[in-house]
Amino acid sequence: MGAFLLYDDESAVRLLLPRLNIPCGTRLIVPNRGQHKMTVAIPWGLRRGPEELGFTRMLNPARQVEKSRNRSWIKDTLERAGLSVLSENTDICGNGESFVWSRELRVPVFHLEALAVFADRKPAHLNLSLLNVAHSEEYEELPPDTSAIARRAARLAVRAVYALGLDFGIVTLVRLSDGKTVIKDVNPEPFLDRRLGELFAEAINRYHESLKSELSRGKEAILGADPEFVLVDGNGKVVPAARFFPMRGRLGCDSLRIGGGRLVYPLVELRPDPSPEPKQLILQMTWLMRKAADQIGEADLAWLAGGMPVKGFPLGGHIHLSRIWLNGFLLRALDNYLALSLAAIEDDSTAARRPRYGFPGDFLRKSHGGFEYRTPPSWLVASDIAKGALALSKIIAEHYWELNSRPLDLETVHEAYYRGNKFALLPIARKLWAEIESTASYAKYSSFLAPLKRRLETFQTWNEREDFRDSWHIPRITQPM
């Protein structure tokens, strides 16, 4: 139980093997089939297909590695996910010139973590028509948190690897003279030198220990949330939430950058106390909304939620998970079983928040050890959707090891998600729902999940321009005549 390094050619892993604390070999030998299912294979320099291996769980699935050998596929996938990719057809300068000053950055990534940032010591004169242009062979290592440039490169590299359906690799980026950082290449089969061998071995050992701990976890996951909504006046203009609520507290306001980057506080945010049970979060949020109604008083304002109820104001329905390990299998289960299901019944305006917001795998680690899953829109838009989203999150957290489907790895599904093509997503979401129903926890949360299932069955989308207070039975305080 844990991780297993799987390889064909020992020369490809010679710098890893002496530093690893995990079992390794050209084939997996385990006492029983149950233990086999609890093992994650880490292929390195492997040339066999997954059908020959029999692993239930594998990092860097062979099908994604194979697709990543196609530069056009990489470019299309990353650009769809909102990432800039260096191309010989890209006009970086804006004046048709193909030569720009650049600095190359290389970021080794393993399992949602940038291990380091390497930068060439001297800028190069980059010809965009020659993507394999030679750079200085001397690179300096910049820890990912030492500068804004390093932090941005690290963040983009992690996003790129995840967006391609991969779990590890080396991402090459180019820092251009105009300050823009673009992705040049993603290599899921990196050649290792001494330092890279050290970094990857340390990361694999950490992964192994975390995986063993997670697989033996006895406590159930705890849920939290901070869904957002906006207040809109009779002219369709957003009224700043800061007029009624403080920044901090269980009922507060959140910021948004608009125009030239100006920071404003237009969003109302509900922050219920964490709980293992979705029902407790729903009860708390209902109470917070009633409190919000009292604080707003007689102001004649509509309460709107969803993804983009007002142009330029993207909303999130962030879900917090703690007492559980943030890992790629859990994150992809949330993407495929939760975010995809919501996308299949979203309003037509919701997709406008993507790809800047709402991209699969959007997470933020929290200081308390848990994480915030930021992909979903604000499910406050209807009480039945909120109940379903939270119950679905709970089931995924407890049963993600059983939920193996990854339709978002398919190019057609990936494209449909970003375009908001609900007709393409709907049959996929319905099929995934059968897997959710097969989990041991489904019966416990069926009353919360059944209305969401009916929406999928009847193709009942939500309406972001509709005041959601009626759905939550929040009384409206009207001005006296």
Say yes or no: 388 and 407 in one domain: yes
Q: What's the distance, Cα to Cα, between the start and end of the chain in Å? A: 70
| Residue 451 identity | P
Task: Judge whether 478 lies within some domain.
Answer: no
Q: What's 327's domain CATH number? A: 3.30.590.20
List of residues 6+ apart from 396 with CB closer than 8 A: 330, 333, 334, 337, 338, 403
Q: Is the pLDDT of residue 137 over 50?
A: no
Q: What is the model's pLDDT at position 142? A: 84
Residues 390 and 451 in one domain: yes
Q: Which of 142, 167, 187 is the last residue of a domain?
A: 187
- Total number of domains in the chain: 3
Element (H, E) at 429: helix 422-437
Q: Check whether residue 7 and residue 132 sit in a common domain.
A: no
pLDDT at 439: 97
User: Minimal CA–CA distance to 433: which of 397, 398, 395?
Assistant: 395
Are 257 and 232 a contacting pair, CB within 8 Å?
A: no
Give the separation between CA 160 and CA 181, rounded to whole angstroms: 13
Q: How many other C-beta atoms can be found within 10 angstroms of the C-beta atom of residue 270?
A: 23
Q: Is residue 209 a part of any domain in this protein?
A: no
Same domain flag for 419 and 349: yes
**Residue 211, in any domain of the structure:** no
- Same-domain pairing of 399 and 258: yes
Query: 308 with 405, same domain?
Result: yes
Q: What are phi and psi of 144, to 5 degrees?
A: -55, -20
The pLDDT tens digits of the residues spanning 74-100 come to 999 999 999 999 876 544 444 444 556
pLDDT tens digits along 288-301: 999 999 999 877 89
Strand pairing report for 238-239 and 251-258: unpaired
Residue 342 and residue 458 in one domain: yes
Domain assignment of residue 206, yes or no: no
Residue 208 lies in a domain: no
Verify that 58 and 76 share a domain, yes or no: no
φ, ψ dihedrals at 117, nearest 5°: -130, 125
| Shared domain check, 9 and 97 | no
Among the residue ranges 84-88, 365-369, 376-380, 383-387, the one predicted with the least confidence is 84-88
Per residue in 181-238, pLDDT (tens digit) is 999 999 999 889 999 999 999 999 999 999 999 999 999 999 999 999 999 999 999 9
Query: What would the pLDDT profile of 412-456 be if each residue is shown by its tens digit?
Result: 999 999 999 999 999 999 999 999 999 999 999 999 999 999 999
Residues 296 and 311 in one domain: yes
**Number of residues assigned to the chain:** 481
Q: List the CATH number of the domain containing 78.
A: 3.30.470.20
Q: Give the model confidence (pLDDT) of 109-125 as tens digits.
A: 999 999 999 988 766 55
Please give the single-letter amino acid code of residue 173. L
Would 205 be classed as within a structural domain?
Answer: no
Reading the block at residue 170, the tokens are: 């080396």
Q: Do 169 and 186 contact (CB within 8 A), yes or no?
A: yes
Domain extent, residue 35, equals: 2-64
